[in-house]
Amino acid sequence: MNSAWLPPIIITCIWAFIGIICPFFARGPNRGVTQCCLMLTAVTCWLFWLCCYMTQMNPLIGPKLSMNEIMIMAREWGNEIKDSMDVVV
């Protein structure tokens, strides 16, 4: 399995668990309300995450950064600036 798909699958599984499995364990006088709330929460939250993920899956534009920011990011986030690279400015 391609490891790039791992995060989406994990997150989908979490919400599926909350929305599909957990309602079976609802007890008490408000059973119906609890089940409904769990399912709705799972659906809405999963869909929200999905939209955000799919927007970034194939981005059509990239971020526009100033030199300072690029250099700070290179230092803090650990991607160094190499001397020669394939550049398409």
Q: How far is the CB of 53 from other proteins (least distance, A)?
A: 6
What distances in angstroms separate CA 64 from CA 42, 58, 68, 87, 89, one per listed residue?
Answer: 35, 17, 12, 15, 12
Angle at 47 between CA 6 and CA 12, to 5 degrees: 25
d(CA 20, CA 16): 5
Token pair of 83 as six digits? 């001397």
The H or E element containing residue 50 is helix 31-57
Question: Binding to other proteins by residue 12, rule CB under 8 A?
Answer: no
List the interface residues with other proteins, window 32-51 (CB under 8 A): 32-37, 40-41, 44-45, 47-49, 51
- Pick the closer one to other proteins by CB: 16 or 74: 74
* Per CB under 8 A, 20 contacts other proteins: no
Least distance between other proteins and beta carbon 26 (Å): 9
Binding positions for other proteins, rule: CB under 8 A:
4, 7-8, 11, 30-37, 40-41, 44-45, 47-49, 51-67, 69-71, 73-74, 77, 79, 81-89
